[in-house]
Amino acid sequence: MKSRLIRKIFIALIILLPAISFNGCKKQVKCGCGKDVLFSITDEIMDYSSISYGSNGGNATFSIYNGISYDYYHFCNPNEMYDRYLDLKGQSQIKISGDIFWDCTYMMNSSNSYYYSYYKIYNIQVTDLKSSLYGKK
């Protein structure tokens, strides 16, 4: 009789525990500029020459070594930062600040290929570009 009761309680627990422990669906992070911020950087020092601008400031990218390969960052606001970038010409190193977002094209393609596990592609809303030299703007 006791073993029958224990068996019923055990079966009830098997059925009820998954329902009780279910926390709901995890929200999928939105990709693209101005969506869900992954992280922010403040005054990260980098080589001036590592930022690559397209003609007339239409696009800008840079990459950072992640230990295996390079992660790529595309400016969300390249035109807005182009004049600051040109003002810093001649500097060997600069400081960059901004909010980082997932790149939508990377997010769509990364689930379909093993190759995408080696690197990541982000968008960055650059809030500041400045000289890394103390006392200079």
pLDDT exceeds 90 at position 20: no
Average pLDDT for residues 21-28, to the nearest whole number?
Answer: 63
**Percent of the chain scoring above 90 in pLDDT:** 51
pLDDT exceeds 80 at position 115: no
pTM: 0.74
Residues 46-76 pLDDT 10s: 999 999 999 888 999 999 988 888 999 999 9
Provide the token pair at 11. 């079966």
Domains delineated in the chain: 26-131 (2.40.50)
Nearest of 130, 110, 131, 111 to residue 122 by alpha carbon: 110
Residues 118-137 pLDDT 10s: 789 999 999 999 998 865 44
How many other CB atoms are found less than 10 A from the CB of residue 122? 18
Instruction: Report the relative pairing of strands 121-131 and 70-75 from DSSP bridges.
Output: parallel
